Amino acid sequence: MAETIQNLMLGFSTAFSPGNFFYAIMGCLIGTMVGVLPGVGPLAGISLLLPSTFGLNPTAGLILLAGVFYGAMYGGSTTSILMRIPGEAASVMTCIDGYAMAQKGRAGPALAIAAIGSYIAGTASVIGLMFLAPPLARFALGFGPPEYFALLALGLLVLGYMTGGSMIKNLAMIILGLLFGMIGIDHMSGYFRFSYGIVALGDGIGVVPVAVGLFGIAEILATAGNPFRPDILKPKLKDLLPSRQEFRDSMFPIGRGTILGFLIGIIPGSAHIISTFMSYAVERRLSKHPEKFGKGAIEGVAGPESANNAASCGALVPMLALGVPTGPVPAVLLAALMIHGINPGPLFIKEQPTIFWGLIASMYLGNFVLLLLNLPLVGIFINFLRIPYRVLYPMILMFCVIGVYAVNTSFVDVGIMSFMGLLGYILRKFNFETAPVVLGVVLAPIIEMSLRQALAMSNGSYAIFYQRPVSAIFLVGALLMILLALKPLIRKGMDWKWREQLSKADENE
Amino acid sequence: MTIDRLSGTVLLVLAGFIAFETRVLPLGTHKVPGPAYLPLLLASILGVLGILLIFVKAKSPPLRSLKWPEGLHAAAIVACCFFATFFIEVLGYRVTMLIVLGFLFGVVERMKIWWALGLTFALTFGSFWIFNNMLKVILPQGGLGI
């Protein structure tokens, strides 16, 4: 405990240095803008800002990018409440009751509760991150290649299960991502794989062009042709304060949303989105007046908004402690660390205490700044929505090109982004999720190295994966995920057989 | 033909293509896996998933239910992306963006000429100044040095 407090003091001294403090505030403000603008999610925002962090030290760069991540969670609620347009996917549930409250003239309290809930959840989950990540990293120091392979396999299967939609399609997307991640030089043998003579592909496909293409460009392709004329509600800022009853009704949903969001955040998948759905369902089930949900229940705003902020912190636990990203946004943050020459993994916290604890302290600071700035500045942020989409999307496209080109100063990366954009657009049309592709690209080198090292250790025997207890536990978890995914198919089959028997019995009668 | 059947078929073809491409790489053994080992393993799983998609998810929407109302816009934007890919280093950032933004604002979105020109020039030179001069992000200047 004393060591944690001492480390936190170190973190605060880092975060309060003028440069880092400035970048924390900038990250929060840019994140809020990113959250407000539909079509520019936190992933695209972080990817586009990545090149601008090259000139910064790693601590300032990570503080800026993390600020964008949790700032976007705050910003997303504004458009959900005022316009019924989720600024980013995690704010979908807030649209339901937030917008209903706005229509009843209670937009101010809805925005205030969303901000307060986000602040409480953000701060509480940073405490969770602070206490959970270091022991987890110490535990992971004992991991060998078999444990890492099993952990990554489990992570990818959980991602496939939790992402939503068809598990078969999600698994196919994970494998596609892993295959993309294998393009380039094989580090163990030096062979070029699938590079077709393009020298620039020797270093492999970067996560930034893939993420920007699949999320930024694909979003533009899908929405640019649609008419977009939002009806903007203007909140009366003098009515921001919620009533005493609204405060009382929100406190428990905020607490439950925080715990739920943080725990779900640690699990791979689109955690911040899933956590909001689960929080909404829990609040509705626990409510004494479930009929109020959908008609402006403040619990329907407080719970999901707290959950998505807590989940964004929870997602940083495995990334910082194990070097294993649980979703596309932590994957890009991980790539940012690697670009700055820092190797993420269990030794990260021990070897880079200034960055880790500086980030933790900056998150306390950032959450407080967001609470202070967001409500008074809501009128300014909402003005970004007045920019017509036909002006906005060429601008986003331009930033995508700059962001992707600047990472390696390579036109090949712009080509990869363009290809991924087209692929993402087609995949969306065919109901495929694209997040698993990004994660597959990031994890491919680690998973391949772990598998090959584990097989070399065991003289080619796959038994090593179930002979070592930690690895075996992870694999049992992975098996469980497969069984859970198969359950509806088996049940459907049994129902069909049962119906067949019934109809035959009817015919016999 | 349903959406999932077509998707499954494409995945199956892709799996076959990857398996075919790995023929030039050493497969290795279980003890010392070569560079083709995992790609081939993954291609096999992808093929199985493709088959599952073809046969298990038979109740997916029909292919003709897919609508492409934004198709023309999307085609124009994809063309701009690939134009930027091939010309950004040849023409330089500013000339490439003047062409891309001018095309999008003026031709695709049919803005009034002065608006389109104003936005195109302001965004191109503004973004170059912010990124290249202020943030020190190196942007290409092309053969003409523009």
Both structure tokens of A8: 């936190």
Q: Partners of A249 in the beta sheet? A: none
What gap in Å lies between CA A502 and CA A493, rounded to an integer?
14
CB A233 within 8 Å of CB A452: no
- What pLDDT does residue A478 have? 83
What is the per-residue pLDDT for B86? 93
If contacts are CB pairs under 8 Å, which of residues 11-50 in chain A contact chain B? none
Which pLDDT belongs to residue A85?
Answer: 65
| Number of Cβ atoms within 10 Å of the Cβ of A245 | 9
The predicted structure's pLDDT at residue A372: 79
CA angle in degrees (0–180, nearest 5) for B58-B59-B64: 100
pLDDT in tens, B64-87: 888 888 888 899 999 999 999 999
Q: What's the predicted TM-score (pTM) here? A: 0.79
Q: Which of residues 73-102 of B touch A (CB under 8 A)?
A: 73-74, 77-78, 80-82, 84-86, 88-89, 93, 97, 100-101
Determine the pLDDT at residue B18. Answer: 94
Task: Return the DSSP state at A430.
Answer: T
Q: Please report the ipTM that was assigned to this predicted complex.
A: 0.94
- 8 A C-beta contact, residue A201 and residue A195: yes
Q: Which amino acid is at A131?
A: F
Instruction: Report d(CA A359, CA A318) in Å as an integer.
Output: 15
pLDDT attached to residue A215:
79
Q: Which chain A residue has its CA at the smallest distance from B39's CA?
A: A179
pLDDT at B43: 95
Closest CB to B74 among A51, A401, A425: A425
Helix (H, G, I), strand (E, B) or coil at A184: strand
pLDDT, tens digit, 9 for 90 and up, residues B122-141? 999 998 988 888 777 788 88
**Would you state the pLDDT for residue A180?**
94
Beta-carbon separation of A415 and B89 below 8 A = no
Residues of chain A with pLDDT below 50 are none
Q: Is B16 on the interface with A (CB under 8 A)?
A: no
**Taking a contact as any Cβ pair under 8 Å apart, which residues of chain A between 195 and 234 contact chain B?**
217, 220-226
pLDDT at site A317:
81
SS3 (DSSP) at A31: helix
The H or E element containing residue A185 is: strand A184-185
User: Closest residue of B to A412, CA-based?
Assistant: B85
Give the residue from A438, A248, A241 showing the smallest Cα distance to A326. Answer: A438
Pick the residue of B18, B49, B80, B86 with the most A CBs within 10 A to test the interface with A by mutation: B49
Select from A345, A347, A340 the least CA-distant residue to A319: A345
Among candidate residues A79, A77, A78, A71, the one with its CA nearest the CA of residue A30: A71
Interface test with B, best of A408, A414, A441, A465 (most B CBs within 10 A): A414
Is the pLDDT confidence value at B20 over 90? yes
Residues 45-84 of A with CB under 8 A from B: 51-52, 54-55
- Each residue of B36-52: pLDDT tens digit? 999 999 999 999 999 99
| Interatomic CA distance for residues A430 and B7, integer angstroms | 7
Chain B residues touching A391 at Cβ < 8 A: 105, 119
Whether A452 has its CB under 8 Å from any CB of chain B: the answer is: yes
C-alpha A496/C-alpha A126 separation (Å) is: 49
